[in-house]
Amino acid sequence: MDCNIAAPHLNSFNNFLEGIPKAVSHVRPRVIQISDDLKCELQISNPIVGYPTIPKDGTLIEGLKLLPYECRCRGITYKSKLSCAFRVLLNGTTVQSSVRPLMEVPIMVRSRRCYLEKMSPEQLVMLREEEKEFGGYFIINGVEKVVRLLIATRRNYPIAINRPKWATLGPHYTPYGIYLRCVLDDHTAIISNIHYLSSRRMMISVYHRRRKFLLPFALVLKALLEVSDRFIFDELLQGTEEDNSWRSCVTNMLMDLKTEGISSQTDALKHIGEMLRIDLQAPAFLSHAEIGQQFIDDVICVHLDKGEEKFNFLVFCAQKLCALVRGDVLPENLDNPACQEILLPGTMLLMLLKVAFSE
């Protein structure tokens, strides 16, 4: 039976090539306030991955192909240039644009950016390849290397777990929490945890730009929608109206907002922006509310687009966490295959590329 064991690797790398434009579109433009009335903006777009070619004198000679067998013999990497279009705008007017190479990307053998992709067995032999060469690997410094399939936590699913280490995070923290791995369509992942406190409150921690941000759970809910405290109270208690412990928890969180003087969505966004302005290294011309809105859009439940969808999802997560604390549901196990998925080579490359673009 003919079975192509390299198909998952090849398909993931081809998806990586298709996903690069989407990853670039999610990168926010860099804006610099030069003066009170002059703002400079740098935009990046139209990424293109070419075919491997042989460099000479710092330039690329068109049509001079670089083949896999030559990389093996010379001990070099089978790679190609990734070029992007850059635009510089002053107060919204384009003053300069150019296409420049940004980095070099390793090319998987027999992928869509490999010259061997559609070749017949006879053609492969003529190019000093094996007759049944199936590809699915990279050539790095002349050595053939395969990226292993890794296990990742299931995406976009709230996992209720009991982790004793969480009880050591600070005063009132308990082992109970919700683990969230939210993934964008370009495979960018944001890890979030919702913690239950013995003081009958909840906190949400988010990992962003290699840093951990900790926010009151009710503050995030308030920042998502322009709704009253009564609406949030009713949504969180829906179906559990008789649970006095959960009612007390919701009441405490809403009372904390009132103590801070937060009564509207704008107040919540301003509070978040004021808390995180320095940590996010936000430009001075952005208001606290704009910084808070960017944080909500870029970090909180990134797999969802609308504030209402994020609100409903977090309400469901809170209710599931409450059920775990009450003992109505059993803790889930991250080692259970139902809570896992496969991380393919193309997915990992796209994640690393998105980080490089953002930084």
- The helix-helix angle for 229-237 and 244-259 (nearest 10°) equals 160
Question: Residues 123-139: pLDDT tens digits?
Answer: 999 999 998 899 999 99
Q: Domain check: are 83 and 109 in the same one?
A: yes
pLDDT at 92: 82
AA identity, residue 197: L
Question: Residues 329-340: pLDDT tens digits?
Answer: 999 999 999 999
pLDDT at 56: 65
Q: Domain check: are 145 and 181 in the same one?
A: no
* Residue carrying structure tokens 């990853």: 23
Q: Is 28 exposed, middle or buried (0-12, 13-18, 19+ CB in 10 A)?
A: exposed
pLDDT at 1: 40
Provide the number of structural domains found in the chain.
2
Q: Domain check: are 61 and 132 in the same one?
A: yes
Q: Can you give the residue range of the structural domain that contains 200?
A: 152-341
Q: Domain check: are 198 and 249 in the same one?
A: yes
Q: Domain check: are 258 and 306 in the same one?
A: yes
DSSP at 158:
-
pLDDT at 105: 94
Q: CA-CA distances (angstroms) from residue 270 to 47, 229, 260, 294? A: 35, 17, 12, 11
Residue 349 lies in a domain: no
Residue 34 lies in a domain: yes
CATH code: domain of residue 178:
3.90.1110.10
What distance in Å separates the CA atoms of residue 301 and residue 279, rounded to the nearest whole number?
20
Q: Domain check: are 58 and 173 in the same one?
A: no
Specify whether the CB–CB gap between 136 and 146 falls below 8 A: yes
All residue ranges of the chain with pLDDT < 70 are 1-3, 56-63, 359
* Residue carrying structure tokens 């796209």: 350
Q: Domain check: are 181 and 142 in the same one?
A: no
Q: Domain check: are 132 and 191 in the same one?
A: no
Q: Domain check: are 18 and 53 in the same one?
A: yes
Pairing verdict, β 30-35 and 211-216 = unpaired
Q: Domain check: are 210 and 249 in the same one?
A: yes
Residue 61 lies in a domain: yes
Residue 82, phi then psi, degrees to nearest 5: -110, 115
Q: Domain check: are 88 and 134 in the same one?
A: yes
Q: Which residues, other chains included, contact 234 with Cβ-Cβ below 8 Å and sequence gap of 6+?
A: none
pLDDT at 62: 56
Residue 1 lies in a domain: no
Residue 348 lies in a domain: no
pLDDT at 27: 85
DSSP at 162:
E
Q: Domain check: are 182 and 140 in the same one?
A: no
